[in-house]
Chain A
Amino acid sequence: MASTPAGLTRELLALRVAHELRPGMVVNLGIGLPTLVPSHLPEDHGLLFQSENGILGIGGIVEDADFDPDFINAGGQPVSVIPGASFFDSSISFGMIRGGHVDVAVLGGLQVASNGDLANWSIPERGGGAIGGAMDLARGASRLIIAMEHVTREGSSRLMERCTFPLTAQACVNLVVTNLAVIAVEPGGFVLREVAPGVTVEQVVAATAAPLAVPPGVREMVL
């Protein structure tokens, strides 16, 4: 797959994810790429960001100079809180998550399978791992969006028929946004929705290691 195009930058990928969010939603953003999403939202976005370390109503990432160890997001980054924010302990926080009170979770991914399985916490040859809130979020969020690079650095597809890495949760992914495409996970498997500017349908199909349905009218992403 040496011909896999570069597609979107990480920033543009985050921008495309931002288009999935609507005012009034409660949203949890995972560590890594998903934390770039808020900088691409309009100021009056009307979203409520939940962070599993116990904050509902996170504002934005703040400068290191203002670092307060007790105002951080789940990635440990210093954050502000909006008027109307609330603090709570981890039991309430995960009750929110498992209990279906979070509308959307955006997580990073290592592998997504066409049956919606997600692997994102452990690479077998590295051992150990970092589960954090991922397993609870994958099961509990009403809608799960995975934001990730389409292929690994070595060029193999992260979208496959079955995950080979340890699972985070089964049949949990609704939408995958990559640097190449927007792909929905439907009962029948992967369905191509959009391609990144400058990327062809054929290139996305070639970079996907599972059947990919291409319905008529696949459009280019609007960024």
Chain B
Amino acid sequence: MVATIYDTPDAALDGIEDGVRIMFGGFVTSGSPGNLIRALCRRGTKQITGIANNIGFGDVLDELCEGGQLRGMIATFAIRASSTQTSRFEVQYRRGDVALELVPQGTFVERIRAGGAGLGGVLTRTGLGTPVAEGKRTLDVEGVTYLLETPLHADVAFLRAHRADRLGNLEYRGAQRNFNMMMATAADLVIAEVDEIVEAGAIDPERVGTPAVFVDRVVRCDPVVVRR
């Protein structure tokens, strides 16, 4: 199916409702869909469950807390162990306004991969003997004990890439790939913001990071750059 091209990030969010579960690509500043996140702030959607690597580390995502739009986060980085800086997310977490599930980063991306690839979960040794393992099943495979981690799926994924073609193929630059590539596979509605939209064929097939089949909506906008 051909991706739909939208003129503005606000228009690209058409149909997103309260209670939505959204994956946000990006690792701090790289590959972060800042325009779509700010459009979500303007839209005022409430009771959002966010799935993102980080929140409150100089990222745009923390702005969702200003309007109390988050119900909770599944993240790897949320509250720095030894820092005096306090994010909006941290303030709301301490008040009990938002929930937080912390996931080791490697497990986080593999759970998303499982969610997008039709797999029933991931077996990993990461997290064994730590609070991450509490309440989870373990399995022994060939004499090694693993933790069973379940798939992650979302209603919507927001991505940031360098270029898209009119079919929805995405090309990344630098360290933009991070979680964007797997999140593209693991949500019902996938919206990508890019620097440039080009004709089909303008992106060398060898350079396609996310094949068009995964991408539903595309919007062109300059990246939001947040200085830390």
Contact = CB atoms under 8 A, between A and B. Distances in A.
Interface of A: 51-55, 64, 67-72, 74, 76, 87-91, 93-94, 97-98, 110, 120-123, 126-136, 139-140, 166-170
Nearest to B57: A76
A110 B81 contact: yes
B129 A136 contact: no
Interface of B: 27-32, 53, 57-58, 76-82, 90, 93-94, 100, 102-110, 113, 124-132, 172-182, 209, 223, 225, 227-228
6 closest A-B pairs by beta carbon, nearest first, are: A94-B106, A128-B79, A70-B174, A136-B106, A69-B29, A135-B104
25 contacts: A69-B30, A69-B225, A72-B28, A76-B228, A89-B109, A89-B209, A90-B106, A90-B182, A91-B182, A98-B125, A122-B81, A123-B81, A127-B94, A128-B100, A129-B78, A129-B79, A129-B102, A130-B76, A130-B77, A130-B79, A131-B102, A131-B103, A133-B76, A135-B127, A170-B128
A135 B132 contact: yes
A217 B107 CA distance: 43
A169 B124 CA distance: 13
A76 B104 contact: no
A170 B132 CA distance: 13
Nearest to B106: A94
B76 A132 contact: yes
Contacts of B79: 126-130
Most chain-B CB neighbours within 10 Å: which of A53, A93, A131? A131
A181 B96 CA distance: 42
A139 B179 CA distance: 21
Contacts of B100: 128
Nearest to A153: B82
* Residue in A69, A87, A97, A122 with the greatest tally of chain B CB atoms within 10 Å: A69
A139 B144 CA distance: 14
A94 B110 contact: yes
Given A90-B108, A98-B124, 12 more contacts: A54-B177, A69-B29, A72-B175, A89-B180, A89-B181, A97-B106, A121-B81, A122-B81, A128-B102, A135-B105, A135-B107, A136-B126
Contacts of A133: 76, 104-106
A172 to B, nearest CB: 10
A70 B78 contact: no
Contacts of B175: 51, 53-55, 70-72, 87
Contacts of B32: 69
Contacts of B30: 53, 69-72
A7 to B, nearest CB: 19
Contacts of B130: 135, 166-170
A89 B210 CA distance: 11
B28 A94 contact: no
B225 A130 contact: no
Contacts of B174: 68, 70-71, 87
Contacts of B228: 76
B178 A53 contact: yes
A94 B80 contact: no
B35 to A, nearest CB: 13
Contact of B77 (A87, A132, A166, A169): A132
A166 B223 CA distance: 37
B30 to A, nearest CB: 5
Given A70-B30, A139-B125, A131 B132 contact: yes
A98 B80 CA distance: 23
Nearest to A168: B130
